[in-house]
A and B are shown apart, each in its own frame.
Chain A
Amino acid sequence: DAGVTQSPTHLIKTRGQQVTLRCSPKSGHDTVSWYQQALGQGPQFIFQYYEEEERQRGNFPDRFSGHQFPNYSSELNVNALLLGDSALYLCASSPDSLNTGELFFGEGSRLTVL
């Protein structure tokens, strides 16, 4: 049973460009959350998707947007990249939005903005 998979694992972009990161949740999970983790810090909540809708959002600008597909996979899009967007982007899935149990995290996509 595959866990949460993310792609790409590493990528390099330049300021002003746009990036799309992808996440496939664990089998049977319909809720996907995205986090940004800067070096040396804890993950910061970006947003959560459930039933193809953005359910909750953290304190991130509109440059950060997402999408969830009918198969529950998800994309994170970041426009007009800034140097400060360099981070590890983590995807986490859970069985449903009311789950009080564990979140399953992928290994992340490491984004470097030059």
Chain B
Amino acid sequence: DAKTTQPNSMESNEEEPVHLPCNHSTISGTDYIHWYRQLPSQGPEYVIHGLTSNVNNRMASLAIAEDRKSSTLILHRATLRDAAVYYCILRDQQGVKTSYDKVIFGPGTSLSVIP
């Protein structure tokens, strides 16, 4: 039931930028785009999220296409610690109390970082 599609796996060399793509062609106007990552033997951790504009934080950047049907998570300099499964998910918030927040995860992209 995931509303996003991502490549199953990607590789990157250490200290090089990584661009992780995500397609969400059926995104609605109230869907926020979230990225989480899951390191081995840990729960997922939040990376970044956005609605329409590109976003930056200390961990990564999020580039959102103008039509919002795709987005790219950018890790500016991959480190060995960035090896994880990265999940792109949509969160629907319609701003009313009974609005649900049924977060749907897909299989994600497994990122390998080569020393």
Chain A positions within 8 Å of B, measured between CB atoms, are 4, 33, 35, 40-45, 48, 55-56, 58-59, 90, 92, 94, 97-108
Contacts and interface: CB of A to CB of B under 8 A. Distances in A.
* A contacts with B: majority SS: loop
24 contacts: A4-B43, A33-B101, A40-B107, A42-B2, A42-B106, A42-B108, A43-B44, A43-B105, A45-B102, A48-B101, A55-B100, A56-B101, A56-B102, A58-B102, A90-B43, A92-B103, A97-B99, A98-B97, A98-B99, A99-B101, A100-B93, A101-B46, A102-B49, A107-B43
Contacts of A105: 43-45
Nearest to B89: A42
A98 B106 contact: no
B7 to A, nearest CB: 14
Interface of B: 1-2, 32, 34, 36, 41-46, 49, 85, 87, 91, 93, 95, 97, 99-108
Contact of A106 (B2, B43, B46, B99): B43
A103 B107 CA distance: 18
Given A42-B2, A90-B44, A98-B97, A103 B105 contact: no
Contacts of A104: 46
A42 B105 contact: yes
Given A56-B100, A102-B34, 8 more contacts: A42-B107, A42-B108, A44-B105, A45-B104, A90-B43, A98-B97, A103-B44, A107-B41
B9 to A, nearest CB: 12
A48 B49 contact: no
Contacts of A97: 97, 99, 101
Contact of B49 (A55, A59, A101, A108): A101
A55 B32 CA distance: 20
A55 B49 CA distance: 23
A89 B38 CA distance: 14
